Structure 1
């Protein structure tokens, strides 16, 4: 330990025992540094660096500290904004402002050049930082726009100012290693953000211009006659490419066609679908199952139907009869098409649920289609002039759609493509009435109609949950029990790893014995470095070491390894990685499923270059042989070699097992 580290050790120990005080101190620094006038006198950047160093040296959890910094920065800027709106031009006469006249002038110039973006830019620019919120308040920036810029910039400012000190305090040696690359990543992150802000409007404009040309080519009205009536939806959809909403509608339509083609071409689940479903089932406990079932009721047939009827009735009462018919058509057609496709395709559900009376076929998800159609109808019904309500409806509706879609996966009743297809179908048919009918006329009561429909949806969701009808929780799969012992050592186990992307490499061995880690591998093998923010920073070190880097995660059947060991030889850039999952529990101990790979780590430009190699037969014999001898195991042949104790092997094979 260096002299500086030894001197600071009592401070670090006290902070580790009192993390709440550290968070309050960081929040106070961020508040003072962002507060108008006061921030001109406080060396906030230096104090944040010192606070970060104290946090890093104390090994305090970084996320609460970042939260404190964000809250302090938002509160300081908000108070500065209020001072600007309250005092207006009187701010120019304040003593501190008269002492720094250039700061106020630069802040005003920045606001006149960049408008609302000046709040984000000013957060990172020297003396302007504590003045710009007061200036934008003084010059009349709307509160909602300021709050959005304030919060978003604080979320980026807190890690940018706190993390360098955290790295420095965690380890002086590590700080010297990764400081340059950490700053490079921060610069790339901010540069990428501003590049996207500059690029997206320039991509959006040519697309809409192309849509305008197409709209002029197809004309304002569909062809006359009977054929024109049939072509009216296509004609309106082509003209909708003039707007961003039209492009989103076409994106949903293409997504539905893609998932439908996939369901027709390969009726069974893809490998990645099996992997994601296994991950969801591995997380599903009693509490999560109950919570997911409550949330999934929002997409049920009864709540969606009642909410649609309420919306249509409110619109009809407000003399919006044409739009009421469109709303009913959008939701009803989405649900009917979903059930019709289920009957035509007959795609099997996970866990054999198709054979039960409670569930029909899988593709597409009717829950996802119904809630997506309803939310899309809400957005298309609202007139454009109620922009805030439209945005709130879009955000809340997108959240409900996402939750319903995730619950179908968490409950184990749909494959991921079923959910994507259902969402795309609901958006396509839910928006079609608005696209065809043109929802741009003013409407006085549409906002209240949407609010009423949302209230009915929530009430009906609660009622179906309390009554446990018509979608009872007992119809859904129970949480999987993954610790059931097997009766015989000869029962079949998995031969290949099922990762998140589907079936992956085969296991190299089934290993008997060892409670925490497979028996016999210690002391040649050591536990892999755990995933913490300190070890994560080592991945940006210009001199990566195989012994210090945490191992990249792998999954089998939705589970992370129960044990991860590494073995580093003479070359510090190469290591063997052993991942072990408990495949079964027997009276004689667990049986482990072993996966082995060779990692070669070399320096890279911003990240190390990692190459993984599968071991050959000779390497496997050299690695597993000494461990099996220490554990007293012998090798039995099979699709996956089985390593058992000598007595079990002799009982299983009268001629005895063969040593590795």
Structure 2
């Protein structure tokens, strides 16, 4: 947040610059051909996110978005009216004859409705306004449809971002660093989707143009082989573009993977960027984020990927697409065997020791990234084979988002270095492209691709949910951040080492929170029993399920779990609540955090804990959710708790210290 907050503060203080950017993006998205290369959806949804988090106003963003897209379409319309049919021969439309022809067919089929419908159809939306102008549509009619559809389009793009922003604001209320983790993940996913969209929108037309020139050059040469080559690469051959694209992916992917493998095999196996990214991920770790990323990484575990692969193979066999089934099975098996062989050959250590066995104890390449890329890639190839360019782009983007999310979780959890994940993704994409060449050369028939896609996703989600439900606890323990304990003699802790521990809770942004009012070493269950006798109620360890009541803005405070305040990224080991004494508002909350120190006496040692006390009251954010708002405990509340601890049977107050005005008690359990 230290890096992101200044930008948010700047846009909050100078919203006019944010509105100018939103206007220009919305304008560029509506201009002829240029709109193909403008990441309008990501930017406008991002603007909605800033609205949802309270950094921008809703109506100014809507107005800037609507005016931009309306003006952009109007400019494109005037270009069509001014140049007429000549517009198709002018740059840049001359590079996209197939897109222009598709836009003309779209306008002929839908007539005046094409202006409104076309805004939501990838590809044609960048040419429809110019084409209707070229066809001579009435100016007043165009203005009416342009304005009304532009307003609707603006709401459709900004409102989802507002809802996402509300979710991020909700996450930010719980943990500042969790907000950063989610923002990074959203940016990575949006970037992956945009690259796929850009490839479908921009690379294919250029490739068509290049293939046309290569085909013409080959036809001008003598010889039957040249003529066959010319027909194979001609844009008129519906499979030529995908075959060439897949071949290019295989060529560049092999080079990239070889480069990563050579670097991994060298003496400098772990590069500076590997270490830097691993450090960044480690410093971003937090308890809610760990739970989310553990679920995502479990969705890429072998048992889930195997279920998905068997579903794809079974579907192909059921529909008698035996060649496609053999090709898919070979690609998946070859990828798995190659991954295991590379791990055994290089034996690269993981960033963090995990309880894997066999070849899986090694790191290069990432098995999760490899198999996710191969299996989801094969699914994308099969499902999108008979689709148009934009349908294919949507399928590939959806599959890519799932693959990238799994790959990102491996980095976050410290299971792999960055180069491991990149190598896995690269090799997986190479195998996917090789399968794609085989499918384009000998396409399967009657496999009902949409049914395959639905069945595969249902099995993926069902297998993943079952795997998470049965193995989440074990996985959480395996991926947990290591917490080594330093043993110190009890006398040394009492005399000086207590000062090495934080005086205040450190939140996820690194900022100090409430004061720790006590330290104690001993049995946590014993302390809980003593406090329960005094009217305190223990609450379960916070999980995402505990946050569901927060979504009810009318919830009462007793119905809500205490907010998950984290200390140095870790949850409290014990949380207890009690109604505020007297007529005071809200409730008191005790949180007890485990430290990295343990008090040793002979061969017996006991962990040292930090105790905090806060007060919570209701906070209804935007009337959409209710999260307890945290306040510092009063001096009277702290004094009362100290008295309870001092009177508790089996506990002894050893001493009191004054450090920077913050009183701390050292408490130890009597054996």
Q: Do Structure 1 and Structure 2 share a fold, with TM-score over 0.5?
A: no
When the two structures are superposed, what TM-score results if normalisation uses the length of structure 1? 0.44
When the two structures are superposed, what TM-score results if normalisation uses the length of structure 2? 0.43
